[in-house]
Amino acid sequence: MTNQAYAHRITPLTTTRHAIKERNDTNFVKGIQTMFEHITLFDGMSVSFHHHLRNGDYWLNEILLELEKRNIKNITLVASSLFDVHQKIIPLIKNQTITKIYAAYVSKKVGEVISEGYLKDGLVMHTHGYRALMLTHHLVSVDVAFIVASASDKQGNASGSLGKTPCGVLGYAIADAQSAQQVVILSDSIVPVDKPEIHSDWVDVVCEVDSIGDASGIVSGTTQITKDPIGLKIAQLAVDFCEAANIIKENMSFQSGAGGISLAVMDKLHHHLKNKNIKALFASGGTTKLLVDMLEDNTVSQLYDVQCFDLDAIQSLAINKNHKKMSAMEYADITYKDNIANKLDVVFLGATEIDLDFNVNVTTGSDGIIMGGSGGHADVANGAKMTIIVSKLMQSRLSVVVDKVTTISTPSEDIDCFVCEFGLALHPRHQALADHLKKTTNLPIKDIRELYDLAISLTGIPNKIAFADQKIGVSLYRDGSILDELYAIASV
Amino acid sequence: MRKSALFVPGNQASMHVGAFAFDVDAIIFDLEDAVALHHKDSARTLLRHSLSTLTMFKIPKYVRVNPIDSPFFKEDIAQMIQAPIDGLMIPKADAYNLLQIIKWCEQVETQHSKKQTPLWIIVETALGVETLWDMVNTTDRITHVLLGGEDLMSDLHVKQTYNRQELAYPRAKVAMVSKAKKLLCYDTPYVEINNEKGLLEDAIQAKNVGFDSKIAIHPSQVDVINAVFSYTEEEINQAKEIIEAYNQAQQQGLGAFSFKGKMVDKPVLNRAMHIINSIEGNKHD
């Protein structure tokens, strides 16, 4: 097999895992130069990273820049998500050190260069759930998983909850650890680890480093509740709809996205549950102080946590037995029978665009440039009984409701309701519910076209985005099927 | 049942559309206090363009112009009367300056072949309070009266008291005169926008003396105000039952009838009908 072909294989490797070391013989090293002496990496191989350090992550950049120094080319980057902090890899995309990327989310700074057509072998955008499936079923093989952990022992029992710079549960990294040919733990706190997310049995090398990242970026203010009165109005309307549609009840389960309005829904829901003395069974996904408060005042019985967004969530995970860690497989992998996503009653998610057929785009911006991705959007939208999109009707002078989304990130079949400041629209399959609510409540039930017409009357119809013929990637559903294709933007 | 009316800065274009998302009876675009002196001209131009674009929204639109003793008043009136609005809000109105205000409005209306523009007057001076009866009898343009508590306190040289003692007389006067002339009256804004409890108590005081509603100066105040000036479920149910009892009495040819052991007289029936009519009129489109 040539190195070139090696980068694109999608079948399991025939080589034996741990071939480069004896089992139970984890290497403990200091510094990445020594670490590289203990792993095998050459042209065309694939490397994986998790995103639990978000914009505080040092090591995705550092490792890939080191590969460039070592003149290793045609790398497939299997990253759970790429943030703005990772823009240092842009030259590596341009000089073909990195030629293919798998990710559930790509922020705009990195997305821009991909949308300009520089990523030679393209971008595969998947969901968190499908990433876990893809890795653990070896549909994509990872040669080296680099797992940054806030704490690890010398054997490789690693956690995100302990150490100098805790980042919370390493839910997305477990699939990498279980499936990669070689697993490297990078940590700045070599300490005994009780209840690790990553078990030493999966680990080949533990590398002690000076720092895992910038603490302020790891738990940055990306998860603030909106204070915008319009956002708060949308949140209240979403909760009012749930109340009227009999979704809010004892033992309900729910999840929200991490956007400001989705978090405001959580806040309103919390107050509603408390006032009505209703106790929810569980909440899931990424956790914040909002969910921790609900757990602590008994408005929810359990939290299932795949990643922590703030220090309160990290601390709660350490001390509250009802705050449970979960892996990406347990969260959203469709081959995992009891995946949490499929048990959800209701989810509140954002959207960059929603079209008249209720398809949702969270991947590309109004300029056609990649600036996001599904993350768990399509996983929980598919799994939950009721999926509610909460968004302002217009963002930056453009309508969020469009005739056809630029990219399908989550398909119409999985979307039930769109709530904006001017009303809420139900998918046509819920016509009976819409009719019932119109008769029995004062909720501003609208047809989605009414909302579209209102927005267009204010914004006008925007020009179509000009795309080039060059295909730059695909958007995958949670079962791995192709939802949409991504194209380079036309040069102006 | 009346909902709040919401003030929106005239110079904040991004807020002009968003304001219509809120459940209010009127939007009042402000060219006075919300706009800095050096932005007065640009705010006026911006607002006129906004108003000509926002015609798809059915919520009535008013513009608070600058006071008659300011250099901006005449141009505010001249521009806004030409815009698609439901009325002008006039600050610091009293029986003496109102005549001049009407004269200038008439001049602009004639020049542009416009119908008579309704006025929403703000009573916020001692002279305004004391000449309110004269004002509402001077013209049939006046449709709404707003009590402006902050400026009035300034005019009286008094501070805000815990239970708004300083507003007891002006509130009673504004409510009484407005009701006598069948005009809608709105209570003064509550300026502590993060004090929901204070707003609630203030709104209840206003409701108790006869105000139809209260002005909101921030969207976060709208729901609290609407809740205070709405009828309770108990009031609505009782009103429905009284009307049902009345209909049955009519069918049986009875002039007088009783409800739950008490004779129902005309004021009670009228109030029940007013409640039901208000609710029907306030359902969402």
pLDDT at A19 (0 to 100): 44
Query: What tokens does B35 get?
Result: 């706009």
Could you count the other beta carbons within 10 Å of the beta carbon of residue A460? 11
**Alpha carbon of A419: minimum distance to chain B alpha carbons (Å):** 12
Give backbone dihedrals phi and psi of A403, rounded to 5 degrees, phi first. Answer: -70, -35
Overall size of chain A counted in residues = 492
Q: Is the pLDDT of residue A348 over 80?
A: yes
Cβ separation A230–B56 shorter than 8 A: no
Name the one residue in this structure whose structure tokens are 């600036």.
Answer: A371
Q: What is the pLDDT of residue A220?
A: 55
Residue B142 token pair: 């006046």
What does the pLDDT look like over A140-184, one tens digit per residue? Answer: 999 999 999 999 999 999 999 999 999 999 999 999 999 999 999
Hey, is the C-beta of A221 within 8 angstroms of any chain B C-beta? no
Quick one: residue B182, left, alpha or beta (phi over 0 = left, psi -120 to 50 = alpha)? Answer: left
Q: In chain B, where are the structural domains located?
A: 5-227, 234-280
Q: Which of A227, A228, A232, A233 to mutate to test the interface with B (most CBs of B within 10 A)?
A: A233
Distance from CA of B223 to the nearest CA of A (A): 10
The Cα-based distances of A38 to A153, A420, B205 in angstroms read: 18, 54, 77
B81 against A11, higher pLDDT:
B81
Q: Which residue has the higher pLDDT, A218 or A473?
A: A473
- Chain B residues with CB under 8 Å of A457 CB are 56
The Cα of B233 is separated from the nearest Cα of chain A by a number of Å equal to: 14
What CA–CA distance (Å, rounded) separates B247 from B233? 21
Q: Of A393, A372, A390, A392, nearest to A381 (Cα)? A: A390
A390-400 per-position pLDDT tens digit? 999 999 889 99
Q: What number of other Cβ atoms are within 10 A of residue B279's Cβ?
A: 17
CA-to-CA distance for B243 and A373, rounded, in angstroms? 57
Pull the structure tokens for residue A299: 């408005």
Q: What's the pTM value of the predicted model, to 2 decimals?
A: 0.89
A454 at B interface, C-beta within 8 A: yes
Q: In this complex, is the C-beta atom of A275 within 8 Å of any C-beta atom belonging to chain B?
A: no
Which residues make beta-bridge pairs with A304? A284, A324
Cβ-proximal residues to B79 (8 Å cutoff; 6+ apart), any chain: B44, B45, B48
Count of CB atoms situated within 10 Å of the CB of A31: 11
Pairing of strands B87-90, B119-123: parallel
Torsion sign over Cα B165, B167, B173, B175: negative
What is the overall mean pLDDT for chain A?
Answer: 92
Which residue of B7, B17, B53, B224 to mutate against A (max A Cβ within 10 Å)?
B17
The answer to whether A11 contacts chain B (CB < 8 Å) is no
Closest partner CB to B220 (pick from A229, A442, A457): A229
User: Can you give the pLDDT at residue A286?
Assistant: 85
Profile chain B (285 residues) by mean pLDDT over runs of 10 residues.
Answer: 92 92 96 95 95 95 98 97 97 97 97 97 98 97 97 94 91 98 97 94 96 96 94 86 87 80 82 81 45
Vertex A407 angle, CA A401 and A409, to 5°: 90
**Closest residue in B to A453 (Cα–Cα):** B56
Is the Cβ–Cβ distance between B99 and B121 less than 8 Å? Answer: no
Q: What fold characterizes domain B5-227?
A: TIM Barrel (3.20.20)
Report CA dihedral (A254, A127, A481, A479) to the nearest 10 degrees.
Answer: -50
- For chain A, domains (ranges, CATH) are 16-219 (3.40.1080.10), 229-465 (3.40.1080.10)
Q: How far apart are alpha carbons B183 and B181 in whole angstroms?
A: 6
Inspect the interface and report whether the beta carbons of A457 and B56 lie closer than 8 Å: yes
pLDDT of A259 > 60? The answer is yes
Tell me what pLDDT residue B231 has. 85
**8 Å CB contact between B77 and B65:** yes
Burial of A201 (0-12, 13-18, 19+ CB in 10 A): middle
Residue A15 has pLDDT above 90, yes or no: no
Collect all residues with Cβ–Cβ distance below 8 Å to B254 and sequence separation of at least 6: none
Q: What are the structure tokens assigned to A387, written together?
A: 């999926």
Gap between the Cα atoms of A156 and A201, Å rounded: 8
Q: Taking Cα atoms as reference points, which of A215, A145, A156, A225 lies closest to residue A178?
A: A145
Asked whether the predicted pLDDT for residue A444 surpasses 60, the reply is yes
Q: Output the pLDDT for position A222.
A: 52
CA atoms of B80 and A58, how far apart (whole Å): 57
The confidence score (pLDDT) of residue A396 equals 81
pLDDT at residue A17 is higher than 60 = no
Looking at residues A399-420, what average pLDDT do you find?
97
Burial grade of A88 (CB within 10 A; 0-12, 13-18, 19 or more): middle
Torsion of CA B122, B127, B131, B135, to 10 degrees: -40
Rounded Cα distance between B14 and A58, Å, is 38
DSSP track, A136-192 = HTTSS--SEEEEE-SEE-TT--EESSSSSS-----TTTHHHHHH-SEEEEEES-B--
pLDDT band with cut points at 50, 70 and 90 for residue A492: low
Q: Would you give the DSSP letter of residue B185? A: E
- Which positions in chain A touch B53 (Cβ < 8 Å)? 458
Which candidate from A230, A421, A444 shows the least CB-CB separation from B284?
A: A444
Nearest one of B270, B280, B275, B277 to B246, comparing CA atoms: B270
pLDDT band at A16 (very low <50, low <70, confident <90, very high): very low
Q: List pLDDT tens digits, range A303-336.
A: 999 998 888 898 998 899 999 999 999 999 999 9
Closest by CA position to A152, among listed A306, A314, A319, A28:
A28
